[in-house]
Amino acid sequence: MLTVYRKYRAKNFSQIIGQDHVVSVLKQAVHDGKISHAYLFSGPRGTGKTSMARILAKAVNCLELKDGEPCNKCHNCKAINKGNFLDLIEIDAASNRGIDEIRELKNNVGFLPVEGKHKVYIIDEVHMLTEPAFNALLKTIEEPPQKVLFILATTEPQKIPLTIISRTQRFDFKLADENALLKKLKKIIESEKRTIAPAALEIIVKAGRGSFRDAETVLEKVISGLNFEQEIAQGDVENILGLASQDLVKSFIELLLKGDREKSFEILARVEEGGVNLSYFIKEILEEVRLQMMSEIKTAGNSENIKKYLKIVKEFNTASIEMRTSLIPILSIEVAITNLTLDKPITRSSGLKEKPIVKMVEKVKDEFVEPISNMPKQEKQSNNNVNQDAEKQVAVLNEHWKSILNAAKKYNHFLTAILAKVQLEADLDAGVIVFKVGSTFHKKRLESKETRKILSGLFIENCGFDVDYKCVIEVAKGKDKEDKSNSKLVEEFFS
Ligand SMILES: [Zn+2]
């Protein structure tokens, strides 16, 4: 089966799209019979260098030439199109055979054409030739035999000796612009009797990045995966390319601008589940942000919005760099989302050193938990942030203590009973929270590994942060009796 790229390869000059500057000069030269001995076609891959070389080979051999265009009908044109024209020799310098073929070239170049008017050598990826091969080629080009035409093609002209370049007529092939790609793709879709949604076509054009070959390869993959009657939809192309849908990217950016962390994470989860390539995802975010930012700058110019866009660009640029070396690539995006939905970003190098989640959650709390009401008056002013944190935490814990007790019931009721007796206090010097308990047994229970684990979960669940606590025994006056009965119950349960 022919690939789309080969099947729809241009067969004459007028079918070549996007290289008008080359086409007009070559066509004129053929028309006037003023052909050079050697041409150099340089330019990125997929820009039509080899197609152009074959058309030129046909043009100089065509028996029914019209206005510099090959007819594609005469014996020579047909033979070249079929690939069995004896006087067209194509050499791939990148292949192992390249050197042997150049040696052969040197021996055979002097013989006259067998069936055509000109013997044509197309040397693809010519920059790959070895030094001896270049020397051999140079000698031939310096004193070109009659009726021989060399067409050298390369993606890296800087690797070709100047002595060679100076003996050729050079043409630089440009990357195709979007209009040219669009024109070509539309033509192929029409010939294949397919239909495509405009948005889907636009994505293929973008994915081609100026290369006909790349764009056509994508189109071919999409077509081969679909039924004949089916219209090619945006989603089909996105699937093939492993892209996140454009709508998804747009809503993701909208959420980031709003600072909606939860929903941003939801979208990220969907992206990951969908098997979307995360680097692509970042690239698409950056492309979309760039578009939105530019239109903001051009129109309203709201500086607040522009600042937000710049922040997104900065975070996702960092994420894309970090992702390459990260053991958990998605983490880089998660950090970017977290930073973008916080007022005070986390410094990645220092902030993640210890207890990253706790630190992150605490930051989140700082930003988003409403101002604490009934906050106990501070006895002494302290500039120590850690101490102040402990005091704030006590206030928040007190506020949520009832729901913590309730939630503890699902682990066991006696834990609830113990917790019900606990008095909270911030130890400002140590920067920890003190649980004042009624007995050694309670202290032991609360400080056990298992209970710490349970409480840690309950604290995060109810207050949004974990707590570093220690237990101190302090028997409340006048409540001894009650406490004893309670601890007895508890002891019985655990024994
Ligand atoms: Zn012809």
The alpha carbon of 61 and the centre of ligand 1 are apart by a number of angstroms equal to: 7
- The β-bridge partners of 153 are 41
CATH homologous superfamily, domain 4-172 = P-loop containing nucleotide triphosphate hydrolases (3.40.50.300)
Distance 80 CA to ligand 1 centre (A): 9
> Residue 31 has which token pair?
């028309």
pTM (2 d.p.): 0.54
Centroid of ligand 1 to alpha carbon of 82 (angstroms): 13
Among 1-15, 20-34, 418-432, 471-485, whose mean pLDDT is lowest?
471-485
CATH architecture observed for domain 178-241: Orthogonal Bundle (1.10)
Count Cβ atoms below 10 Å from residue 259 Cβ, excluding itself. 14
Contact 453, 467 (CB under 8 A): no
**Comparing C-alpha atoms, which of 207, 166, 185, 136 is closest to residue 5?**
185
CATH class (in words) of the domain with range 385-494: alpha beta
- The 10s digit of each residue's pLDDT in 8-54 is 889 999 999 889 999 999 999 999 999 999 999 999 888 999 999 99
Q: How many CB atoms lie within 10 A of CB 366?
A: 15
Q: What digits encode the pLDDT tens for the residues 264-308?
A: 999 998 888 776 778 888 988 998 999 999 988 888 777 888 889
Report the separation in Å between the CA atom of 112 and the middle of ligand 1, taken as the mean of its atom positions: 20
Say how far apart CA 366 and CA 389 lie, in whole Å. 10
Q: Of 192, 193, 150, 156, which Cα lies nearest the Cα of 172?
A: 156
CATH topology of domain 246-367: Zinc Finger, Delta Prime; domain 3 (1.20.272)
Q: How far is the CA of 59 from the centre of ligand 1 (A)?
A: 7
- CA–CA separation, 484 and 439 (whole Å): 9
CA of 69 to the centre of ligand 1 (A): 8
Give the distance (Å) from ligand 1 centre to CA of residue 115: 13
Map out the domains of the chain as residue ranges: 4-172, 178-241, 246-367, 385-494
Distance 31 CA to ligand 1 centre (A): 13
Please, what is the angle between helix 178-191 and helix 212-224, to 10°?
40
Cα distance between residue 476 and residue 437, in whole Å: 9
Hey, what are 19's tokens? 């290289």
| Cα(153)–Cα(157) distance, integer angstroms | 9
Cα(147) to centroid of ligand 1, in Å?
18
Alpha carbon of 188 to ligand 1 centroid (Å): 24
> Mean of the pLDDT values across residues 411-425?
80
CA of 174 to the centre of ligand 1 (A): 28
Q: How far is the CA of 190 from the centre of ligand 1 (A)?
A: 26
- Interatomic CA distance for residues 334 and 329, integer angstroms: 9
Instruction: Determine the distance separating the centroid of ligand 1 and the alpha carbon of 58, expressed in angstroms.
Output: 7
* pLDDT of amino acid 368: 41
